[in-house]
Structure 1
C-alpha cells in the first residue's frame, strides 16, 4: 500500500517525500525567549528556535574577572619567570546566578536548541582566555543539561591554522561531553573558510584576534581545513555517538568531493544565513541550483539534518513587542490572560490577540518550505522500508549452515528486477539451445517412438533450479519455457525442510505437479532420474542449471563451493550454468557514522571489527578518485562456471558421495586442499587526491547471468548481467534491491594525506570446512619521482572467527 493511500491528504503527501524540520537562529540574541516569544517564532512557521544559555550579564562578569586578574597580576609586579610559573593560580568563574541566564525548565524546553556563547574562545592562543572559555563552557553546558534541552550547539574554532589550538578545542569538547552526559553536543563549523562570511562577533581574545581572510585576496584557500578541524575534534572524542556537527553552508559551494565528505559525517544542522540567498526575478530570496541540489542530497538521508535559518527570522524588536503586549500592565489585555465576556462578544479580544500573535511573512522560510514541497517523491529504491536499512549493519547470511525464515525469502522475492534479469537470461539460453540445435539430456521414455532427424518436434530440455527457496526462479523457468515454446523437464532442489513444504504446496496449486521436488543439499544430489526410467533409477544430466546463491560480495555466501558440488551434473560440453560468472569489487570509503557504532559494540564483541557486514551503504564518502589505470571501483577476483574439477570427481568416484573429511590432511590450513581452487587473493591500488580518512572497504559484485550466442552475422549480443556497483547498476540492473553491499571495517581509521595511494590486500581463505576473508590496507605518499613512503597501515583483519560454514 502506498503512503498516499494509507494516510491520505497532506499527511500522505508528506510521507511520500522528505520532510524538512526548520529552525530559527539569531546570532545577536543575548537573552532567551519567554513562552510568548517562543510561540511567536513558531507562529512564523518555524519548528524550533535556538536560545542562548547565558545573558550579557554573564559575559560582562567573565570579562570583569579577566580584567581584574590581569590588573592584579600587573599590580604585583611579577617577573617574567614568576608569570610563567605553572603553579600560579588562575581565575575561577563563580557559579551561574539567575541574572546570568534566562533559560529555565518549561513546557518548550525540549524543543529549544541551546546555543553556547559565541564570545567563548576555546581556540585562543592566550592560555588565560582559553581557560576562562573552558570554564564558562562547562558552566553553560552543565546548566543547559539540567534544564532539559536535548542538544547544545557550541561555536567552532575561528581558525584552523594551529593544530595545537585545535587539539585544545577538541579536549574542551570532550570535557563538555562528560558534563552533558545524556544530550547531543553539536559543533558549529563552516563547510570551508569562505572569505567574507567569517564570524564577526568579538571573543574574549579581542576584536583583532581573527582578521578577515577576505582582506588578503591573493591568499589561497584550503577548503579542507575546516573538515580537518572537525576530524581532529571527533577523533579526540573517540567518535562519541552524541557528538554531531552543524555546517554553515557557504555562498559559493566547493567541489563535490568536499560536499560528499560532509554528507558522510553525523550532521545535525545545515545552516543558511541571509547572504547565501539570491534574489529571483520576483525579488524574493532563493537558492542557486547547486544549493538546491545540495539540500536535495542531504534530505534523502534517513536521519536528515535539520535546517537552521540564521538571522532571517523575526527580529529582536518584533519579539520585544510580543513581550510588551503580554506583560501584565499592557492595556490590550487589562492584565488578564483571557478576555471578558463583553470583550469576547464584541470581538475586541480577537483583534488584540491577532495584533499580538499574527506573524508577518518570512520570505526565507517560505522559500525553504517551497523547496520542501518541490522535493522529488521517494523512488522505488527509497521506500520507507529500504530507508530504514540505511547504514544499518547486518551480519551476512549463512544459508548453508542455517535455514532461512519465510519472511527472509519474501524480502528477496520483493525485487522484480533480479528475477526479470534471470528470466531474460533463462529464455535467451533456451532460445540459443533451440536455434543452435544443441543436444538434449532427456532420455526417451521406454516404448516411445524415436524422433526422426529433422523432425519439427522439439525434444525436452532438462533444467534444474538448485536452492529453490520458495520457488520464484522455478516460476521464471516455466515462464521462459512457455515464451520460447521449448518443453522442459524441471527439477527443484531445496535443503530447507520448511521451504520444501511451501514448494510442495506451490507444485500442487501453481505449477500443476510438473516440477520434480527434491529435498536435499545440492552438493549431495545424485542427479536427475530420467522421466519414465524411475523403475531403473536411470540418471541423466542437466542442460541448464539455475542458481541464485550470490551474496553481497558475490562469493561470500559460498556460491563457488555449492556449485562445485552440483556442477558435475551439468551436461558436457553444451551444459549451461546461470549465472555464468561473477566478480567481486572493492572501493575504500569513509564511514564515520558506522565506525562510531562499531566502536560502541567493540567492548562487548571482540569480533566487531573482524566481521564483514551487509549494509545499505548510504552516508558514505568514496575517498578514492578515478584516474587512468586506477578506477574508483576495482575488481578483486572472478569465479566462472561450470569448471571441471577432475581431482574432486576422482575422489568422489573412489570414496563415494560422503562428505570430505578434513583436518591434518595437508599444508593448506591443515586441510585436504579440495577447496583450494576457490582461494583468491588481490592487491589493488587506489589514488586519493584530497586528504581524508578511511574507515573500511565497500564491497560490490557483478554477475554475467548468460552470454547469448553470436548472431548469424557474427555479432555478439550484450551479456545479460546484474550489478551492485554504484557506477554500473543503472546500466545493468536499474532499481535492483536484492543485495546490499558488504562492508569490511578497519579497527583504526587511516588518515589519508593529499595525493596518497591506498594499497589494499585481500584474501579469500578456506580450510575445507569454512570460508573467511582477510584484509590489510596501507597508505603511501610519493617522496620523490621513484620513491614512496608508507605513512599508515592497518593491522591484518580476519573474519576467521565468524567464517561462513561449508
Structure 2
C-alpha cells in the first residue's frame, strides 16, 4: 500500500516555504519520450525530465567507428602519423529528439558511454566529437540544459591527471559550441562505490585496467579536485554547473560545506541513497534532511533529480487504450488527457514513493521569516559597492534599510541606558544644567535620537540632545521629526560633525547690547557622543576619522563615546560564485569604478554560499582572527600630535606619511599578519571581514561580590559570536576582499594573510595579500603559492 505522507502534514497556507523542483532521470532510456509519455511523467508529479540526445543506432555507429579506427591504427606501420577518425553529422536515424512544443522542457543527457578522459587518442577524439555533436544539436532543438556525465576517475589518482585535463578541455570547447545551453557536470559527492554510471564506456584493449575499488582507500576530496580543474580550465564560466550525486553515507562536514559553496544545479538521488523507515517506505536520515534544508535556504536553490526511481512509462498504444476517447475532440490536449478516466486494466502508475517522500520533506521545510522574505534572501551573495558616507549624501531608502533592524537600535538604547544609570550612580558632572548632554553624530533620519530620548525616560535621567547631520535632505527630515515626534526637545544642527564646534551655551556677557558687532558664541561640551558610523569591517566607513574629528567637543575628563571600541576580524573563504561574478564585472568594466577595479574593491555582501577553509579548534590559530582595534576617545597626547602634524609644528618639517601627506591620520593606519591552518586541501577566493563593537563597558570597578557582572553592551557580526552578542542583527553584511586569482593550497597548509589599512590624510584604503606554506619537516616550511598584492586605493574611502 502506498504511504500517504501528506496525511501527516499540517500546513499554514499563509506561510511561505522553499519550493522543491523534482525531475526524473532514467539511465537506461535510449529514446526521447513521446508527448503522451512526457505527459505521464509530468502528471505523476515530476516537474522536468531528462532525455538522451542520441539513440542506440548512433551508439552502434560510433562503436563500429572506434573498432575500425583502432584496427587501422594497430596495422599502421608509419609511427610519424596517427589516425584521426571523423564522426559524421547526425541523421534522423541517430536521434529521436526534435524541436517540438515540449522540447524546451527537457534536460538533455549526454551519452554516458563516451570517454573524454581516455589515454587513447582515438577514443578521446571520437568522444569529444560526439559530445560536440550532441551539444550543438540539442542547442539547435531548444534544450536549455545538458547534463554531461563526469569523469569516472580523478586527477588525484596516479596517472590520471592527463585524463581530467582532457575532460576539462572538452567541456570548455562544448561551452563555446552550445551558445545558449548550460552544461552541468554530473559528479559524485565523493567516490563512494555504486555512484558511477553503469553504462560501459568506449574503451581500448590497450588501456590499463582500473584498480578494484575495494582495494583503494577513498580520498573524499578527489572528486572536488577534478571539478576544480574543470571549472578553472573553463574560467569559471557562468554556464557551467554541477549535478551532485548524493551518497547513502554523507562525508565529513568539511566536504559538505565545500560543495555547498559551489554552483550546484541538481542534487541527484538514486534508490540506493534512501533507507527504509519502520513501515518499509523510503526515507532519508537526519543528516540528509539537514543537507537538504541547508541547500533550500539558498536564493537559487538546486533542483532535485531522482535517478532510476520510476515511474514506469507505458508506450503510446497502452496510453491510448487507457484514455477514454469518447470526447468530442479526436485527440485531447495534454491537460485533458491527464483528467480522462482510465480503464482499470490499463491504469497509469501515478504514485511514486520517492517523489512522495520529497513532497513530504518540502512541507517540512522551515517557513521563511519575514526578514528572509523581504531582505535577506534577496541580498544573498549580491555584491554591493561600499558606501562613501563622507563624500555622498545617502537617500532616504538607504536610511530606511538601516532602520529596519531593531536589534542594533535595541542594543544602542541599552548602552545609553547603562551609561545614564552609571552617570547618576557615579555622580558625574554634566556639561549642561539641564542634564547629561548627548550628541548623536551622523543622525541620519534620527533613530538613535529617538532611542536616546527613550533611554532618558526609562532611567529618569534628564538629557539635552543634539542631532548633528551633514546631509541637507536628512536635515529637513530631522527638523520635521523634532516637530512631530520629539516635541522640540532636540537641537538639530546641519554640519559635518568634524566642523561642529559643540553645543551653543550663550552669547558673551561682556558684549554691549548696543554694539553693532554680533556677540561671540560660547560653545559647551558633550557628555555622551553616540554614533553609528561602523561599517562591515568596523572601520571601513571612516568611523575612526569621523570620531577623531568630533572628539574636541567631548568633555575631556568624563565624556564617553558609544561605541567605545571596535575590532576587525577576518577569515579566508572559498566562494566560487562571487569570484565568477567579480570576474564578469571586471571584464565588463564600464563607468562604475568598482567594476573597473572589481578585484581591488572590498565588496559588501551577505555571504551565504561559502566555505570557511580554515580549521576549527587549532590552538592560537582560530578560524576567525582579529586584525586590529580602534578605541574612543583617543588619549590627549595623540590628539596633540594630530594637531601638531596638521599645523606643521613637528620639529624637522612636520612629519610625513608613508602614503603621502603630513601624516595627520597616520595614527589610524593599521597592519596585521595572521596565520590560518587548513587541514583539508582547497582553494580560496578572498577574505571575509567582520567586526565586533563594545558600545558601552561599565565604568564602575568590579568588586569581589560583583566579579564578572560589569555591564558590557556589544554588537558582533562574527558567525561564531553574533547569536551570543546581538542575535538576529542584520544591519551589517560582511565585507569581502577578493583575490585576483584563486589560490589553491594542499592539505595541512598554513595561509598567511597580510593586510594594511593605509591613509594619506585625504582617503583611506586597504591592501592585502595571501601566501600558502606547507611544512616539509619539523624545521622547514616551503611556500606553495601566493596571491598578488591587492589594493583598493583607486576606490578609496574619501575623507
State the TM-score, normalized to the length of structure 1. 0.90
- What residue number does 1:51 align with? 51
Tell me how far 1:773 sits from its aligned partner.
0.2
**Which deviates more, 524-533 or 738-747?**
524-533
C-alpha distance in structure 1 between counterparts of 2:759 and 2:262, whole Å: 37
Tell me how far 1:404 sits from its aligned partner.
0.1
C-alpha distance in structure 1 between counterparts of 2:28 and 2:600, whole Å: 50
SS in 2 for 1:107: coil
Verify: 1:758 aligned to 2:751, yes or no: yes
The one-character-per-residue Cα deviations of 1:110-137 (angstroms, maximum 9, x if unpaired) are: 2210000111111112221111110100
Verify: 1:633 aligned to 2:624, yes or no: yes
**Which deviates more, 161-170 or 204-213?**
204-213
Cα 1:58/1:364, change in 2 over 3 Å = same
The alignment yields a C-alpha RMSD, in angstroms, of 2.7
Verify: 1:568 aligned to 2:573, yes or no: no
* Counterpart pick for 2:413 among 406, 418, 423: 423
- What residue number does 1:319 align with? 314
C-alpha distance in structure 2 between counterparts of 1:209 and 1:197, whole Å: 22
- What residue number does 2:7 align with? none
Structure 1, gaps ≥5 residues long = 1-9, 342-346, 445-458
C-alpha distance in structure 2 between counterparts of 1:355 and 1:415, whole Å: 62
Is the 1:43–1:357 contact (alpha carbons within 8 Å) kept by the matching residues of 2? no
SS in 2 for 1:636: strand
Cα 1:380/1:702, change in 2 over 3 Å = farther
* Counterpart pick for 1:123 among 117, 121, 127: 117
The one-character-per-residue Cα deviations of 1:516-558 (angstroms, maximum 9, x if unpaired) are: 1100000000111127989763222111100000000000000
C-alpha distance in structure 1 between counterparts of 2:638 and 2:751, whole Å: 39
C-alpha distance in structure 2 between counterparts of 1:654 and 1:778, whole Å: 36
Structure 2, gaps ≥5 residues long = 1-9, 510-518, 590-595
C-alpha distance in structure 1 between counterparts of 2:352 and 2:22, whole Å: 13
Is the 1:465–1:491 contact (alpha carbons within 8 Å) kept by the matching residues of 2? yes
The one-character-per-residue Cα deviations of 1:598-633 (angstroms, maximum 9, x if unpaired) are: 111222334110000000000000011121110000
Is the 2:645–2:663 contact (alpha carbons within 8 Å) kept by the matching residues of 1? no
- What residue number does 1:177 align with? 175
The one-character-per-residue Cα deviations of 1:196-251 (angstroms, maximum 9, x if unpaired) are: 333322111179979787x5535321100000000000000000011001100011
C-alpha distance in structure 2 between counterparts of 1:575 and 1:512, whole Å: 26
C-alpha distance in structure 2 between counterparts of 1:90 and 1:430, whole Å: 85
Cα 1:331/1:415, change in 2 over 3 Å = closer
Verify: 1:107 aligned to 2:91, yes or no: no
Is the 1:711–1:717 contact (alpha carbons within 8 Å) kept by the matching residues of 2? yes
Cα 1:336/1:158, change in 2 over 3 Å = farther
Is the 2:266–2:305 contact (alpha carbons within 8 Å) kept by the matching residues of 1? yes
Tell me how far 1:668 sits from its aligned partner.
2.8
- What residue number does 1:454 align with? none
Tell me how far 1:282 sits from its aligned partner.
1.2
- What residue number does 2:3 align with? none
C-alpha distance in structure 2 between counterparts of 1:258 and 1:718, whole Å: 41
The one-character-per-residue Cα deviations of 1:640-695 (angstroms, maximum 9, x if unpaired) are: 00013546557759999x9x9xx997253221111000000000000011000000
Verify: 1:678 aligned to 2:681, yes or no: no
C-alpha distance in structure 1 between counterparts of 2:721 and 2:359, whole Å: 35
**Which deviates more, 405-414 or 384-393?**
384-393
- What residue number does 1:389 align with? 379
Is the 2:645–2:664 contact (alpha carbons within 8 Å) kept by the matching residues of 1? no
Give 1:764-803 correspondences, 5 Å limit.
Answer: 764-803=757-796
C-alpha distance in structure 2 between counterparts of 1:108 and 1:69, whole Å: 38
- What residue number does 1:138 align with? 132
Is the 1:53–1:101 contact (alpha carbons within 8 Å) kept by the matching residues of 2? yes
Give 1:399-548 correspondences, 5 Å limit.
Answer: 399-442=389-432, 444=433, 460-530=435-505, 537-548=521-532
**Which deviates more, 529-538 or 484-493?**
529-538
SS in 2 for 1:297: helix
C-alpha distance in structure 2 between counterparts of 1:355 and 1:495, whole Å: 81
Is the 1:610–1:799 contact (alpha carbons within 8 Å) kept by the matching residues of 2? yes
**Which deviates more, 373-382 or 626-635?**
373-382
Verify: 1:280 aligned to 2:277, yes or no: yes
- What residue number does 2:71 align with? 71
Tell me how far 1:714 sits from its aligned partner.
4.2
Cα 1:123/1:73, change in 2 over 3 Å = closer
The one-character-per-residue Cα deviations of 1:768-792 (angstroms, maximum 9, x if unpaired) are: 0000000010000001101110010
SS in 2 for 1:217: helix
Is the 1:664–1:670 contact (alpha carbons within 8 Å) kept by the matching residues of 2? no
SS in 1 for 2:504: coil
Cα 1:751/1:333, change in 2 over 3 Å = same
Verify: 1:307 aligned to 2:304, yes or no: yes
- What residue number does 2:266 align with? 269
Verify: 1:549 aligned to 2:533, yes or no: yes
Is the 1:380–1:735 contact (alpha carbons within 8 Å) kept by the matching residues of 2? no
Cα 1:50/1:206, change in 2 over 3 Å = farther
C-alpha distance in structure 1 between counterparts of 2:140 and 2:485, whole Å: 64
- What residue number does 1:22 align with? 22
State the TM-score, normalized to the length of structure 2. 0.91
**Which deviates more, 627-636 or 63-72?**
63-72
C-alpha distance in structure 2 between counterparts of 1:543 and 1:621, whole Å: 45
SS in 2 for 1:609: helix
Cα 1:618/1:357, change in 2 over 3 Å = farther
Tell me how far 1:438 sits from its aligned partner.
1.0
Tell me how far 1:441 sits from its aligned partner.
1.2
Cα 1:475/1:209, change in 2 over 3 Å = farther
- What residue number does 1:167 align with? 165
Give 1:290-301 correspondences, 5 Å limit.
Answer: 290-301=287-298
Is the 1:43–1:358 contact (alpha carbons within 8 Å) kept by the matching residues of 2? no
C-alpha distance in structure 2 between counterparts of 1:14 and 1:438, whole Å: 54
C-alpha distance in structure 2 between counterparts of 1:331 and 1:641, whole Å: 81
Tell me how far 1:359 sits from its aligned partner.
3.8
Verify: 1:612 aligned to 2:616, yes or no: no
- What residue number does 1:197 align with? 195
C-alpha distance in structure 2 between counterparts of 1:801 and 1:539, whole Å: 39
The one-character-per-residue Cα deviations of 1:754-774 (angstroms, maximum 9, x if unpaired) are: 000000000000000000000
Is the 1:769–1:805 contact (alpha carbons within 8 Å) kept by the matching residues of 2? yes
C-alpha distance in structure 2 between counterparts of 1:69 and 1:335, whole Å: 57
SS in 2 for 1:784: coil
SS in 1 for 2:92: coil
- What residue number does 2:724 align with? 731
The one-character-per-residue Cα deviations of 1:569-600 (angstroms, maximum 9, x if unpaired) are: 11122211000100000100001011111111
Give 1:244-263 correspondences, 5 Å limit.
Answer: 244-263=241-260
- What residue number does 2:514 align with? none
C-alpha distance in structure 2 between counterparts of 1:760 and 1:98, whole Å: 59
SS in 1 for 2:757: strand
Tell me how far 1:13 sits from its aligned partner.
4.2
Is the 1:40–1:357 contact (alpha carbons within 8 Å) kept by the matching residues of 2? no
Tell me how far 1:71 sits from its aligned partner.
3.4
Cα 1:242/1:645, change in 2 over 3 Å = farther
SS in 1 for 2:782: strand
C-alpha distance in structure 1 between counterparts of 2:319 and 2:638, whole Å: 91
Is the 2:324–2:340 contact (alpha carbons within 8 Å) kept by the matching residues of 1? no
Give 1:85-96 correspondences, 5 Å limit.
Answer: 85=80, 87-96=81-90
Is the 1:664–1:671 contact (alpha carbons within 8 Å) kept by the matching residues of 2? no
